[in-house]
Amino acid sequence: MLRLGGHSPIEASSGEEGIEVLKAPLPIDGLVTDIKMPGMTGFELARHFRTQVPDGPILFVSGYFDTEEEDYMHWLQLPKVAFLHKPFDPGTFLKQVGNLFDS
């Protein structure tokens, strides 16, 4: 979907792989991550991302998350952070990415 929207995503199949991608000398403008992943949460990956790209936009996606969760409440208050609840259609996803990443 990101390629269709004119973006050039770098894929990672896990949070740990995402951290390795962040260590590479690649231009990374933003992060799209699921909240629930094996091994680490999207919130943990986002913390690593923000150490590398302090003002980078983050889009969290999830089919389920607890809106009372401390991490959710923390990230909700930060600029350039959005949440998208699954399932969503490609148009909604690309619109959210455009609003967040292209601003």
Q: For the segment 27-66, what is each residue's pLDDT rounded down to a tens digit?
A: 888 999 998 887 888 999 999 999 989 999 999 998 876 6
pLDDT of 69 strictly over 80: no
pLDDT at residue 97, rounded to an integer: 92
pLDDT at residue 65, rounded to an integer: 66
pTM summary value: 0.88
SS3 61: strand
Number of C-beta neighbours around residue 35 at 10 A:
22
- Cα–chain-centroid distance for residue 70? 17
Mean pLDDT, all residues of the chain: 87
The CATH code for residues 30-89 is 3.40.50.2300
Mean pLDDT of 55-81: 82
On whether the CB atoms of residues 71 and 43 are closer than 8 A, the answer is yes
For residues 71-91, one letter each, b for 16 or more C-beta atoms within 10 angstroms of the residue's C-beta and e for the rest, the string is bbeebeeeeebbbbeeeeeee
pLDDT at residue 66, rounded to an integer: 64
Percent of the chain with pLDDT over 90: 41
